[in-house]
Amino acid sequence: MEDLMLIEILKELQKKYQHIVEIERITREMGDSLSRNDRTSVQMQISMRQDEMDNADNCDKKIRILLAAVPLTEADSIRKWMKGNNTVIPDSAAAEKIFEKGSWIQAALKRTIDIDRHICTRLAGSNSFYK
């Protein structure tokens, strides 16, 4: 597998990770603002969180473009690594970093979803998206 392509994918994954961590931080702040009944802050945080989600989506689009230039079997392996799945053993340092960053992204997403689930359930009760 070509290391230069893996490094470009890794750069985009790093950017995505930074956006995901920011989404997690904003989601935590939303919970704090809701507990203080600060609706103005919540509205601003929702907008900020959406901006970060859009930025993370842009990273995904760039990664898809990069993956289109890679042979299908290699692209499949990279996708698995990006999801934190190492059923295909990374064969280089760059591939190992992609797996590591993918695992970090998945963990941050899980934490964010857990926080969001708590917020939504508290606000909407049985009408929550998560119920």
In the chain, where the domains are located: 3-127
DSSP three-state, residue 87: coil
Cβ atoms of 24 and 111 closer than 8 Å? yes
Q: How confident is the model at residue 102 (pLDDT cuts 50, 70, 90)?
A: very high
Structure token pair of residue 58: 């842009």
pLDDT at 1 over 60: no
pLDDT of residue 124: 74
Q: How many residues does the chain have?
A: 131
Distance CA 59, CA 72 (A): 20
pLDDT digits (tens, 9 = 90+) for 33-88: 989 999 899 999 999 999 999 999 999 999 999 999 999 999 999 999 999 887 87
